[in-house]
Structures are given as C-alpha cells and as structure tokens.
Structure 1
Amino acid sequence: MAKSTEVKIAVFGRAGVGKSALLVRFLTKRFIWEYDPTLESTYRHQTTIDDESVAMELLDTAGQEDPLQREGHVRWGEGFIIVYDITDKGSFEDVLTFKNLLDEVKKPKNVTFILVGNKADLGHSRQVSTEEGEKLATELACAFYECSACTGEGNITEAFYELCREIRRRKMIQGKTRRRSSTTHVKQAINKMLTKISS
C-alpha cells in the first residue's frame, strides 16, 4: 500500500463567516447549528483524491485569535482556505488582510490557498456579488468557490480536494528542485576535489 500524501490545511476568515460549519459539512456532510465560535479544532481526514491516498489535517482557526497564534497557524499550514460571508461585505474586505499575513509569514514562497464565499443560500441578503469574488480570486491568482455550508450547495468537497491537489503539485516541484540542487552540490564538490588533485 502506498504511503498517504499528508497535507496540512488551515481555514481562515473573520468570526462568523462559517469556517467551522464549512469544515463539518466537508467532513460529515451535515450542518451544525450550534458550536462554540472561540474553539480552535484540528480534524484528521483520510480520503482518496485522483486515485491517491491523502491524509488531511484540517485546522479550524477560532475567530478572534491573537496575532502570534495566527502567525503560528500560518507557519503550520501548507495550504489555506480564506472564507468570507457573501452577506457581510466587511468579511470580504478582510480577505486581503489574511492574504497579506500569509505572504508575510511564508515569504519568499508563494502561498497555496483558495477563496471561498460562504452562505450562498442567503442570496436575498447578499452584499458581495459572485463577480466580485471571482475578480478578487483572479487578482490573487487563486481558485474561487461559492457555496453554502448550511445547504451543502456549491462544491465544498471539490474546493478542499483542489487545494490538496495544488499542495501536492507544489510539493512535487519543490522536491525536484531540492534533488536538483543537491546533485549540483555533489558535482561542485567533486570538481573542487579534482581541481585540487590535478593542481
């Protein structure tokens, strides 16, 4: 049996955007009405994506963490889901704050993340259009999904899977780069030795 690819995903967003509900919907296909918004939780989930076994660690960040804790979450994660509430313009405006935090902590690496507009079932109270979400995702060069943790509409599972695929691609690229650079070091060391011997 092939070893599972391990991925660490952290979910960010303003308090009340539905981070916990989104995670629970993804993991159990159910919606929970009540939970403690101050609790931070980590879930483990084993799945198969494109015929490959994937072990996911999912971090549900609490709404009001302190900056140091938030930075720790960014260092821990390999991929990120930034969630906003389509009925709350302020939560949409917060997206850039979260993206800037990811960039600052993870530099010089490019950050692997997706943008999710939640609460699509509340279209009558919408403050952020689908087009605005798509436009921001294009500017940030990331995938965009609009969904509802409450009703399950929108492809929540696909959002998580796509992020896993992106993390996996990035790991493969980094692995190749690392192997190439170690080969280069060995060649340089041998050339130095040969230069010393011949001189």
Structure 2
Amino acid sequence: MAKKKPAPIIRIVIVGSSQVGKYSLAHQFAKGWIAPRDANDTSKTETSKQMEIQGIKYEVKVSVCKDIGQTENQDVKGNDGAVLVYSVVDKKSLTYLKTVAFQKLHDSLGSSDKTAAKDTNGTDVNQSPQQQSAGADGSGKEIAETPTGQPDEVGLSVPVILVGNKVDDAKLSRAVESEDGEALSKELCCVGFYETAATCNANVPKAFERLLNEIVTQRLSVEDSTDKPVKPTNACCVVM
C-alpha cells in the first residue's frame, strides 16, 4: 500500500512588540483556545493546524517572533506570510511596526517584484472596497475589517496582513483609531487589515483565512505557470 503523501506546509510568522497578543492570536487560531505559557520562555513559539484551503489540505505552522528587533534574519526567512500585530490601546506598538518590525521583515524576506495594476485614472484596480463586520467585543462597535490590495514596490515578497488586536479593551482606552490602521495597511501594501479580539476570537479566523487564501493563490499561480509547457512559435522575421 502506497504511503500517504504528507500535507504541504504553509509557514506564517507573527510579528509585533511585546504585550500586543501575538501568542494569543496564534493559539486562538490554531487551537481555538489560548494555552497558558511560561513567562520566562523567550524563545520563538510555534503552533500548527491542519486545514483545507481552496480544496487542498495544508499543515499551517504559525510561529510567534518574540522580538524581531533582536532576532537573526535566518529565524524569519522561509516563511510564506506574515501577520503584523499592534494593540489598539497602545500607540507605540503601531509605531514599532512602521519602524523596527517592517524594516526587519523587509531585510529578511525581501521586497515584492509586483507592481500595481492601474486604470487610466491612476487608481489601483486590485484594491477591494472597505468592509465592516459586526464586533464581538461587547461594546456594540463594529470591528474594522478591510481587505486591501497588495500593490507596489514597498510590499514584501510574501503576503502580509495587519492586525489591530485588543479591540475588546478599546471601549474605554482606545489609542489607535481604525483609520490609522487602514492607512498603515495601505502604506505597507498589506493584503488586508483587521481589528481583532484574540481573547474572544473576534475576527481572528477571518484575518488568518484572508492571509492563507492569498498565500495559496500565489503558490498555485506559480505552480500552474511552472507546469505549463512552452509552446513553440512559428513567427517569421522579415528583413527589409
């Protein structure tokens, strides 16, 4: 009997400053609950989940980068996608993404060679309209969910989403407005922006599914173009 072929692997790294909920997001997505952790453990944490994406079963491995500013580039390389996380109750965590975190990712993963598709008015035709999904933070306020394009030269070589976590704490102490998150998402060419509450799983599945679908779409596109045979041409060159 033939051996069962192992599921292909997708690797995602979660990056952000301390206390923004990176660990909680990873475990809520992979396990459906948040496991206790050793506060003294400063190593990179990894968890995994098997799931079907676009009809194919994958093993999704999610690693939490404790401090990308102190991490060797080799620890970040090899990932198929990234989740940039800040806390909506901590403005410094948003600044950290714009400066230290994104630059380190750029150094490790490289930039995208894609350019934006523009219409005749210069508008990015890949950019999706903003969408809002009802919040689950108990405040009745909608949680921002904004699919954005992955346009130009600033983007990384892999798909990236931006997540503003701890929206369940935002009712009394919000420090970052959703508009600021949307603006940064476009600035960094993310494939989507979501405000989440990891503790109650609000928007967490949607955020990861958006990223994973983009990763698989790109992977299948590359595989499809590689598998296609090159057709011979019968073109003639006429010398005048």
State the TM-score bracket (shorter-chain normalisation).
0.7 to 0.9
- Work out whether residues 103 and 111 of structure 1, in 8 Å CA contact, stay in contact via their aligned partners in 2: no
- Work out whether residues 31 and 151 of structure 1, in 8 Å CA contact, stay in contact via their aligned partners in 2: no
1:145 aligned partner, one-letter code? Y
Distance verdict in 2 for CA 1:30–1:67, change over 3 Å = closer
Post-superposition offset of 1:32: 4.8
- Work out whether residues 102 and 111 of structure 1, in 8 Å CA contact, stay in contact via their aligned partners in 2: no
Q: Does 1:11 align with 2:58?
A: no
The residue that corresponds to 2:127 in the other structure is none
Q: Which has the higher contact order (CA 8 A, sep 6+)?
A: 1
The residue that corresponds to 2:84 in the other structure is 82
2:185 aligned partner, one-letter code? A
- Work out whether residues 53 and 216 of structure 2, in 8 Å CA contact, stay in contact via their aligned partners in 1: no
Match of 1:76, SS?
coil
Match of 2:201, SS?
coil
**Correspondence list, 1:86-125, <5 A:** 86-96=88-98, 97-109=100-112, 110-123=157-170, 124-125=172-173
Post-superposition offset of 1:75: 0.8
- Alpha-carbon distance in 2 for matches of 1:117, 1:11: 12
- Alpha-carbon distance in 1 for matches of 2:68, 2:9: 28
* Runs of at least 5 residues in structure 1 that lack an aligned partner in the other structure: 188-199
2:198 to 126, 146, 149: 149
- Alpha-carbon distance in 2 for matches of 1:49, 1:164: 8
TM-score normalized with structure 1 length: 0.79
* Runs of at least 5 residues in structure 2 that lack an aligned partner in the other structure: 113-156, 233-240
- Alpha-carbon distance in 2 for matches of 1:49, 1:62: 28
**Correspondence list, 1:150-189, <5 A:** 150-153=199-202, 155-179=203-227, 183=230
Aligned length: 181
Structure 1 or 2: more helix by fraction: 1
- Work out whether residues 134 and 144 of structure 1, in 8 Å CA contact, stay in contact via their aligned partners in 2: yes
Distance verdict in 2 for CA 1:50–1:183, change over 3 Å = closer
- Work out whether residues 84 and 116 of structure 1, in 8 Å CA contact, stay in contact via their aligned partners in 2: yes
Distance verdict in 2 for CA 1:86–1:64, change over 3 Å = same
- Alpha-carbon distance in 2 for matches of 1:6, 1:25: 19
The residue that corresponds to 2:120 in the other structure is none
Match of 2:181, SS?
helix
TM-score normalized with structure 2 length: 0.67
Residues 104-149 of structure 1 deviation map (CA, whole Å, 9 limit, x = unaligned): 2222543311001110011111110111111111222210010111
- My pick for the range that moved more, 156-165 or 57-66, is 57-66
Q: Does 1:54 align with 2:58?
A: yes
Q: Does 1:28 align with 2:28?
A: no
Q: Does 1:38 align with 2:38?
A: no
The residue that corresponds to 1:197 in the other structure is none
Identity %: 25
- Work out whether residues 69 and 101 of structure 2, in 8 Å CA contact, stay in contact via their aligned partners in 1: no
